[in-house]
Amino acid sequence: MIGAGLTAAIGALHVYIMVLEMFRWEHPRTRRAFGTSEDFARATKTLAANQGLYNGFLAAGLFWAVAEGVTSWGRPLAIFFLACVLIAGLYGSATASRRILFIQALPAALALIAVTLRI
């Protein structure tokens, strides 16, 4: 099922973002990806780790939905957590970077459509 695959992929993306924000925030490659300076990364390390934790919770919810089956009991879970990712992506693209629209919001919207339509 496409919806399950997209949901799992978005969960994996959020695990990756969690790792970057919680454990690799000050690494040069992570700073380039997020467009931050060394001083900014050092000053915001705790904030980034907190944000990373939230991304981990989103990933856990998405994986839970996939494990339960997005065509059965896991469907409402998938819809809820994908909607959370979509809203976070829209907010992030409006307040932080337009790139978030394509990295986070658009994939979540496509997965949400696929899960809702059961495809």
Mean pLDDT of the region 34-58 = 97
Using 50, 70 and 90 to split pLDDT, how confident is the model at 50? very high
pLDDT at 71: 86
> What are the contacts of 75-78 at 24+ separation with CB within 8 A?
75/115, 75/118, 78/3, 78/7, 78/111, 78/115
pLDDT in tens, 63-111: 999 999 998 999 999 999 999 999 999 999 999 999 999 999 999 999 9
pLDDT score for 77: 97
- Judged against a pLDDT cut of 90, whether residue 1 lies above it is answered with no
pLDDT-derived band at 20, boundaries 50, 70, 90? very high
Say whether pLDDT at 11 is over 90.
Answer: yes
Where does the pLDDT of residue 117 fall: very low under 50, low under 70, confident under 90, or very high at 90 and above? very high
- Tell me the C-alpha distance between 17 and 56, whole Å: 8
- For residues 80 and 92, give the distance between their C-alpha atoms in angstroms, rounded to a whole number: 18
Confidence class for position 43, pLDDT limits 50, 70, 90:
very high
Q: Are 63 and 57 in contact (CB under 8 A)?
A: no
